[in-house]
Amino acid sequence: MANKPLYIQKAAQLVTLQGSSDAPLRKEEMEQLQIIEDGSVWIEDGLIQSVDTDAEIQKRYASRLNEAEIVNARGKLVTPGLVDPHTHIVFAGSRESEFELRLKGATYMEIMNAGGGIHSTTSATRNASHEQLYEESWKRLDQFLRHGVTTVEAKSGYGLSMEHEIKQLEVAQQLNRDHTIDIVSTFMGAHAVPADYKERPDDFVDEVIQKMLPEVARRELAEFNDVFCERGVFTPDQSRRILEAGKKWGLLPKIHADEIEPYRGAELAAEVGAVSADHLLRASDVGIQAMADQGVVAVLLPGTAFFLMAEMANGRKMVDTGVPVALSTDCNPGSSPTVSLPFIMNLGCLKMGMTPAEVLTATTINAAHAIRRGHEIGSLEKGKKADLVIFDVPNYMGLQYSYGSNHTQTVIKNGRVVYRRDEV
Ligand code: NIG
Ligand code: FE
């Protein structure tokens, strides 16, 4: 039997972002939220049927109003479900002691080069069973949902061997099937050079290219291929080889670029036609311009800069240069152990000079484009998936003004109410 229609009614502000499905928004487009006041949404079969003022919806569906399940959004803000386009959620263990070491002066790269950091999480993840990883990651997904997130990207990269990279990707695939949140998978075998390849990193690059990428593609375990291009990890040349090889298998390039040091990562992203370049704390002006020219989405991760006590990426400059900007948590146990995309949005405003409207665009439609889902999610338009959030604030600015809080009241995924704050 078909589900009842769902009628989300009378939002003080309904942020639709209409007309943005074909390409990410740039420059002043990022401020145009296409808000409907006293707005309503009519949903059937998991899809949005109509988005309009409440008066129009009442007229249009007059004969069917008593069939529908009604959700009252009076006085509140309704937005598209938030999209997190860069996470490392499938991992085991945690790294509190490294956090303390960093607070005492050690750097992220020193800890990694001494065998900790990504290597530490790799050991814990290799030692964890599929079931353990599934359960730990499930809890993180529940937390994302409570923060209004309805789609996340998830990377492998804590396996660093065929067996364990595949295990991570299979966990993500199963979570995508079982959990309410949709997961989009990225292979990141080139996240670090594993300890046993320390003296011969090019052999590991060959292993990724010749063995792992073909197998991941054959089993259809990922859509994207990412690499940590950073001094002391993978060079731009190694990164280029890995990303080009992935393209031959149909895996679209993404890149961890210019996170710790300037390393021409943004330039490389433009050169290989990456869908996104992520981090970009130290990106050069030339690289930023190249990204704007090629339409590479900048996925900015201010939580990582915050947690590593580093200087933020220049989000303001990127928006003004014409780069389509998205924001993400980078949720991972080392550089950004958070699931709070709303807090990341606060940082986008207060630490990167972006406006409340721009950060909302950056976590909805632009984030959807960063994972090639702009036609399905990220805006409220007829035919799109009915993924929405009701926030308990009177307008879109309230999400940033009243900072550090989780304002998520109700989450709707595929046309069903999946979370209500007061009735968990
Ligand atoms: O995006 N920089 C590389 N990867 C992650 C951190 C991974 C970790 O420290 O476990 C990042 O910051
Ligand atoms: Fe990351």
pLDDT in tens, 13-23: 999 999 999 99
What pLDDT is attached to residue 423?
Answer: 60
Q: Which residues are annotated as a binding site for 4-imidazolone-5-propanoate?
A: 95, 158, 191, 259, 335
Q: Please work out whether the CB of residue 333 comes within 6 Å of at least one atom of ligand 1.
A: yes
Q: Please work out whether the CB of residue 335 comes within 6 Å of at least one atom of ligand 1.
A: yes
Per-residue pLDDT averaged across 350-367, rounded?
99
Domain with CATH 2.30.40.10 in the chain: 6-81+379-420
CA of 41 to the centre of ligand 2 (A): 35
Ligand with an atom nearest the CA of residue 192 = 1
Question: Do residues 25 and 32 lie in contact, with contact meaning Cβ atoms separated by under 8 Å?
Answer: yes
Domain with CATH 3.20.20.140 in the chain: 83-371
pLDDT for residue 424 is more than 60? no
pLDDT for residue 349 is more than 60? yes
Per-residue pLDDT averaged across 56-66, rounded?
98
Q: Please work out whether the CB of residue 179 comes within 6 Å of at least one atom of ligand 1.
A: no
What pLDDT is attached to residue 376?
Answer: 98
CA of 203 to the centre of ligand 2 (A): 23
Q: Please work out whether the CB of residue 256 comes within 6 Å of at least one atom of ligand 1.
A: yes
The protein residue with its alpha carbon nearest to ligand 1, atom 6, reads 335
CA of 118 to the centre of ligand 1 (A): 7
Ligand with an atom nearest the CA of residue 91 = 1
pLDDT for residue 261 is more than 80? yes
Query: pLDDT tens, 80-99?
Result: 999 999 999 999 999 999 99
Q: Please work out whether the CB of residue 116 comes within 6 Å of at least one atom of ligand 1.
A: no
Of 56, 16, 171, 77, which is closest to residue 400 (Cα–Cα)? 77
Q: Both tokens of residue 314?
A: 């220049």
Q: Please work out whether the CB of residue 98 comes within 6 Å of at least one atom of ligand 1.
A: no
pLDDT category at 408 given cuts 50, 70, 90 is very high
Q: Please work out whether the CB of residue 155 comes within 6 Å of at least one atom of ligand 1.
A: no
pLDDT for residue 368 is more than 90? yes
Which protein residues have their CB within 5 A of the ion that is ligand 2? 330
Q: Please work out whether the CB of residue 340 comes within 6 Å of at least one atom of ligand 1.
A: no
The protein residue with its alpha carbon nearest to ligand 1, atom 1, reads 330
CA distance 96 to 112: 14
The protein residue with its alpha carbon nearest to ligand 1, atom 11, reads 335
CA distance 297 to 16: 21
CA of 86 to the centre of ligand 2 (A): 6
pLDDT for residue 221 is more than 80? yes
pLDDT for residue 107 is more than 80? yes
What pLDDT is attached to residue 2?
Answer: 66
The protein residue with its alpha carbon nearest to ligand 1, atom 12, reads 335
The protein residue with its alpha carbon nearest to ligand 1, atom 9, reads 334
What pLDDT is attached to residue 326?
Answer: 99
Confirm or reject CATH 3.20.20.140 for domain 83-371, answering yes or no. Answer: yes
Percent of the chain with pLDDT over 90: 99
The protein residue with its alpha carbon nearest to ligand 1, atom 8, reads 334
Q: Please work out whether the CB of residue 364 comes within 6 Å of at least one atom of ligand 1.
A: no
Confirm or reject CATH 2.30.40.10 for domain 6-81+379-420, answering yes or no. Answer: yes
Q: Please work out whether the CB of residue 227 comes within 6 Å of at least one atom of ligand 1.
A: no
CA of 160 to the centre of ligand 1 (A): 14
Chain Cα centroid distance, residue 92: 20
Percent of the chain with pLDDT over 70: 99
Q: Which residues are annotated as a binding site?
A: 86, 88, 95, 158, 191, 256, 259, 330, 332, 334-335
Q: Please work out whether the CB of residue 304 comes within 6 Å of at least one atom of ligand 1.
A: yes
Average pLDDT of the chain, as a whole number: 98
pTM of the shown model: 0.98
| 3-state SS string for the chain | CCCCCEEEEEEEEEECCCCCCCCCCCHHHHHCCCEEEEEEEEEECCEEEEEEEHHHHHHHCHHHHHHCEEEECECCEEEECEEECCCCCCCCCCCHHHHHHHHCCCCHHHHHHCCCCHHHHHHHHHHCCHHHHHHHHHHHHHHHHHCCEEEEEEECCCCCCHHHHHHHHHHHHHHHHHCCCEEEEEEEEECCCCHHHCCCHHHHHHHHHHHHHHHHHHCCCCCEEEEEECCCCECHHHHHHHHHHHHHCCCEEEEEECCCCCCCHHHHHHHHCCCEEEECCCCCHHHHHHHHHHCCEEEECHHHHHHCCCCCCCHHHHHHHCCCEEECCCCECCCECCCCHHHHHHHHHHHHCCCHHHHHHHCCHHHHHHCCCCCCCCCCCCCCECCEEEECCCCCCHHHHCCCCCCEEEEEECCEEEEEHHHC
pLDDT category at 422 given cuts 50, 70, 90 is confident
